[in-house]
């Protein structure tokens, strides 16, 4: 069974697993919890996800892909003419909307924690961070930032700019939408050009 088959046909199971993981955490969620939440039999769940670890990786990958796709969409809109603060604000707003629908920030925190003990997940997280940094570095270069004479590479500036995202996700997960109410306006002020 290929990844696209699982992605398409296992989606309801992943959504059920996500709800369980947000309620109970990765390690306190049992496969029986997922069976009950999804309304599917053990055989149906195990057909797509032979182990809970596979389900954790799939939910984590889905979450990372959501964030990376959201950044790409923000970067693509308006080409390289967009201001950094505007792109970052749009990314944060879209992340907040996805959090409201799918608890994206809560899952992100669990993924980061799990990546400390799970090498496959750590590698997936590193790849997502690298891709997002490369995407942001393109905008930084296009805006004429980094390099000489500043002495800081576009890649380093992109990493620093994107470091706002984990802080935003942490505050969104812990404090809720009211706790990050002024965040998007603040990034527009910090990166006006």
Predicted confidence at residue 73, as pLDDT, reads 86
Q: In sequence order, what are the residues at sequence separation of 6 or more whose Cβ sits closer than 8 angstroms to the Cβ of residue 20?
A: 29, 33, 34, 37
* CATH code linked to domain 1-50: 1.10.10.60
Range 150-177 burial, b when 16+ CB lie within 10 A, else e: eeeebbebbbebbebbeebbbebbeeee
Per residue in 57-90, pLDDT (tens digit) is 999 999 899 888 888 888 887 666 778 888 899 9
Predicted confidence at residue 1, as pLDDT, reads 45
The secondary structure of residue 153, as a DSSP letter, is: -
Per residue in 4-62, pLDDT (tens digit) is 444 556 788 999 999 999 999 999 999 999 999 999 999 989 999 999 999 999 999 99
* Domain ranges for the chain: 1-50, 56-190
Give the homologous superfamily in CATH for domain 56-190. Tetracycline Repressor, domain 2 (1.10.357.10)
Nearest to 154 by CA among 132, 138, 173, 176: 138
Q: Please report which confidence band the pLDDT of residue 170 belongs to, taking 50, 70 and 90 as the band edges.
A: very high
Per residue in 111-160, pLDDT (tens digit) is 999 999 999 999 999 999 999 999 889 888 887 776 555 678 888 989 99
* Cβ pair 67, 132 in contact under 8 A: yes
């Amino acid at each position: 069974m290929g990844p696209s088959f699982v992605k398409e046909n296992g989606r309801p199971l992943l959504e059920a697993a996500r709800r369980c993981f947000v309620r109970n955490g990765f390690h306190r969620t049992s496969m029986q919890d997922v069976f009950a939440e999804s309304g599917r039999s053990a055989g149906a769940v195990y057909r797509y996800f032979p182990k809970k670890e596979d389900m954790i990786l799939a939910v984590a990958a889905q979450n990372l892909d959501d964030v990376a796709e959201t950044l790409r969409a923000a970067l693509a809109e308006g080409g390289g003419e967009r201001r950094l603060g505007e792109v970052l604000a749009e990314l944060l707003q879209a992340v907040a909307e996805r959090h409201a629908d799918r608890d994206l920030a809560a899952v992100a925190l669990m993924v980061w924690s799990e990546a400390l003990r799970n090498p496959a997940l750590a590698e997936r997280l590193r790849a997502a961070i690298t891709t997002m940094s490369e995407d942001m570095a393109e905008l930084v270069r296009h805006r004429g930032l980094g390099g000489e004479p500043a002495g800081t590479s576009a890649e380093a500036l992109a990493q620093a700019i994107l470091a706002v995202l984990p802080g935003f996700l942490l505050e969104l997960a812990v404090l809720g939408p009211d706790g990050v109410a002024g965040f998007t306006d603040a990034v527009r002020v910090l990166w006006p050009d």
